[in-house]
Structure 1
Amino acid sequence: MPRDTLTREQIVRAAIALLDAEGLDGLNMRSLGKRLNSAATAMYWHVKNKDHLVVLACNEVWNEVGLPDLDAVGWRTAAERMAGDLHAMLARHPWLVQAFASQPLYGENKARHDDHILAVYERAGFRGPEADQAAGAVFTYVLGHALSLSAAVSADRRLTRGGDEAEALMRESMARATEIAQRYPRLRERLDTYAAREYAAAPDRSFEVGLRALLDGLELRLGDRHQHQAQAQHPHPAP
C-alpha cells in the first residue's frame, strides 16, 4: 500500500489485530507492514514508533467501554456496566494489561472514560479524593482480574509456539505445583473438586461476585457517612 494511501486509522486497526493475535512482543513495524501490504518505513509517516502505536491502539479500544447516561440510571448500575465493559474489553485485548506495566497510556477516549467514571462516583456522593479512590479501587480490581485472563492467553501462545518442548515444560510445572499444593490442607482439598473446576470454567462468575462485594463496601461507606452527618445535625440531647 503506497504511503500516500495509507492512513493512521488503517495502521491502528491493523496494529490492534496484530496485538490481539501476537501480543505486545509480536508488534513490530515489519509484521505490521506485511498485514497492510506496505513497506515498514511507510508506518513512520503516520506514527513515531512502536510505543506511540501502542498508545494509539490503547486509545482506540478504550472506545469499546460504554458511558452510561447518569440521568437515566443510578450510580451503581452505571459503575457495574462500566466495570463489566472494561473487563470484557481487556479480555478481548489481553495485551493491554501488559501495556499498562510497560508505558504511560493516554488518549481522548481514555480521558473521556476516566472523566465519566469520576462523575459516576461523584453522583454516588463521593467527593474530591474519595471519588478518585473509589474509581481507582474498582479499576484496580478489574485490571487484577483481567491479569489472570491475560496470563492464560500468554501461556497458550507460548505452548502453540513452543511445540512439544513447551508442552512438556508446562506439564512438568503443573505437576510440581500440584506436588507443592499437596502439602497444604486447604489447597489439597481443592485440587480436584467441583468448586475448583467451576472456577476454572467460569471465571466471569467470580468477577461478578467480587465486583458486587466491592460496590457493596463502597455503598456501605456512603451509608455510614450519611448516618454520621445526620447525627451531627441532630445530636441526641444530653441526659
Structure 2
Amino acid sequence: MWTRPRGGREQPALSRDQIVAEALRLLDSEGIDALSMRKLGNRLGAGATSLYRHVANKDELIELAVDEIYGEIEVPDTADPARWREDAARCAHSLRATMLRHPWIASVLGQMGLSYLGPNYMRISEAMLSVFTTAGFPPEEADQAMATVIAYVTGMATSEAAWLTVLARSGQNEEEWIERLYPAAEQAAQAYPHLREGLAGQRGKNPRTAREEGFQYGLDRVLDGLATRVN
C-alpha cells in the first residue's frame, strides 16, 4: 500500500490523507472497537465504497493510521557519538509519550504485518540506526540494539496504555482509583512482606510520577547493558 498509486477519480474531494486523519480522530476519541468503514464513511460524508477506492480494507487503514502516529515521534537530526545515550533516551521517551497519547495503538501493534515498511517507521528506524552505528556499535548489532530499546518501550507503554484505557472507562482519575483499591491490595499482601513493604512505600505517591520513574529506571538499565557493546 505504501507504493500503490492513490486513486479516487469518482471522489476528487476525498483523499487517503483525509481518510486516515478522520480515522485517527475516531480511534482517539472512541477506541479501536468503534472503527468501521461504514462509520468512518458517515463521518466523512461518503459511503464505505468510496473509502475502498483509497484503502483496501480496515486492516490496511489501521496500518496507515499507525504509521501516521509514528510521524509524531521525535528523532535526532544528526547522530553525535558522544550523546548516543541521550539521543536513544529521547527517542524512547518520545515513543512512549506517543503511544500514551493514542492508547488504542497498544491493542494492534502485534497485528501490524507490514507497518515496518511505512515511511514514518522507516524514518525512525534510519535515525536510530544512525545513533547506534555512529556511537560505535558493531554494525551487525546496531539493528539489535535499536530493536531492544523499542521492545522495552513498547512493552512498558503497552501496559500503561491498557491501564489508562481502563481508567478512562471508569470515569475516575488515577489517584482516586488507587486510593479506593489500596485497602484491598494491602489486605491481599499481608502474607507477603516484600509486597507489603512495596505497597507502603508507594502510598501517597503521585502515580504518574511513579510510572515515569519506573520507566526511566528500566530504560537506564537497558542503556547500561547496551553501553557494554560500544567499541
The runs of 5 or more residues in structure 1 that have no matched partner are 161-171, 227-239
In 2 relative to 1, CA 174–53 (structure 1 residues): closer, same or farther, beyond 3 Å?
farther
1:216 is the counterpart of 2:224 = yes
Match of 1:81 in 2: 90
Match of 2:110 in 1: 101
Match of 1:46 in 2: 54
Q: Answer whether contact 2:37 2:48 (CA < 8 A) is retained.
A: yes
Give secondary structure in 2 for the equivalent of 1:69.
coil
- 1:21-69 Cα deviation digits (max 9, x unpaired): 2222221112212322322222112111110001111111111112212
Number of residue equivalences = 212
Stretches of 4+ aligned residues off by more than 4 angstroms: 172-179
- Cα deviation, residue 188, structure 1: 1.8
One-letter amino acid of the structure 2 residue matched with residue 84 of structure 1 = H
Kindly report which structure 2 residues correspond to 1:1-239, keeping only aligned pairs within 5 A, or say none: 3-71=11-79, 74-104=83-113, 105-106=115-116, 107-159=118-170, 179-193=187-201, 195-198=202-205, 200-202=207-209, 203-222=211-230, 226=231
Cα separation, 2, equivalents of 1:201 and 1:67:
24
- Cα deviation, residue 86, structure 1: 0.9
Cα separation, 1, equivalents of 2:11 and 2:183:
52
Cα separation, 2, equivalents of 1:199 and 1:83:
22
Give secondary structure in 2 for the equivalent of 1:25.
helix
One-letter amino acid of the structure 2 residue matched with residue 148 of structure 1 = S
Cα separation, 2, equivalents of 1:39 and 1:183:
60
Cα separation, 2, equivalents of 1:173 and 1:204:
21
- Cα deviation, residue 180, structure 1: 3.4
Cα separation, 2, equivalents of 1:178 and 1:11:
48
- Cα deviation, residue 216, structure 1: 2.2
Note the aligned Cα RMSD (angstroms): 2.7
Q: Answer whether contact 2:145 2:226 (CA < 8 A) is retained.
A: yes
- 1:60-118 Cα deviation digits (max 9, x unpaired): 11111122122567222221111111111111111222211223223111112112211
Cα separation, 2, equivalents of 1:40 and 1:178:
52
Normalization by structure 2: what TM-score? 0.80
Q: Answer whether contact 2:16 2:54 (CA < 8 A) is retained.
A: yes
One-letter amino acid of the structure 2 residue matched with residue 11 of structure 1 = I
- Cα deviation, residue 175, structure 1: 7.3
Cα separation, 2, equivalents of 1:141 and 1:124:
20
Cα separation, 2, equivalents of 1:174 and 1:101:
33
In 2 relative to 1, CA 7–34 (structure 1 residues): closer, same or farther, beyond 3 Å?
same
Cα separation, 2, equivalents of 1:53 and 1:132:
28
One-letter amino acid of the structure 2 residue matched with residue 79 of structure 1 = A
In 2 relative to 1, CA 174–103 (structure 1 residues): closer, same or farther, beyond 3 Å?
farther
Cα separation, 2, equivalents of 1:199 and 1:173:
15
Cα separation, 1, equivalents of 2:164 and 2:42:
24
Structure scoring higher RCO (CA < 8 A, sep ≥ 6) equals: 2
One-letter amino acid of the structure 1 residue matched with residue 122 of structure 2 = A
One-letter amino acid of the structure 2 residue matched with residue 76 of structure 1 = R
Percent identity (aligned): 40
Cα separation, 2, equivalents of 1:123 and 1:41:
48
Cα separation, 1, equivalents of 2:42 and 2:123:
33
- 1:215-238 Cα deviation digits (max 9, x unpaired): 12222343xxx5xxxxxxxxxxxx
